[in-house]
């Protein structure tokens, strides 16, 4: 039957597999959303700065 060491090895495998699964979900779903939001904010700030500079010239 199963020895205790085999049981611990199986549990370690499950933990590593689960951590890898959630890390993959995080990297493919949350990180691109975060980067996209940051880029959109940066573009908004640049557009606002350009608009203000244009208003000051006129």
Tens of pLDDT, residue by residue over 42-57, are 999 999 999 999 888 8
The answer as to whether 20 is a domain residue is yes
| Whether pTM exceeds 0.85 | no
Cα(44)–Cα(36) distance, rounded to whole angstroms? 12
Q: Which residue shows structure tokens 């010239």?
A: 57
pLDDT the model gives residue 5:
85
Task: Give me the domain span that covers residue 26.
Answer: 7-31
15 in any annotated domain: yes
Give 10-39 pLDDT, tens digit per residue. Answer: 999 999 999 999 999 999 999 999 999 999
In terms of pLDDT, which residue wins out, 43 or 1? 43
Provide the domain count of the chain. Answer: 1
d(CA 43, CA 58): 23
């Amino acid at each position: 039957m199963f020895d205790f060491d085999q049981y611990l090895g199986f549990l370690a495998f499950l933990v590593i597999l689960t951590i890898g699964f959630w890390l993959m979900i995080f990297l493919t779903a949350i990180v691109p959303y975060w980067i996209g939001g940051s880029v959109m904010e940066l573009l908004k700030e640049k557009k606002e700065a350009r608009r203000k500079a244009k208003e000051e010239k006129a």
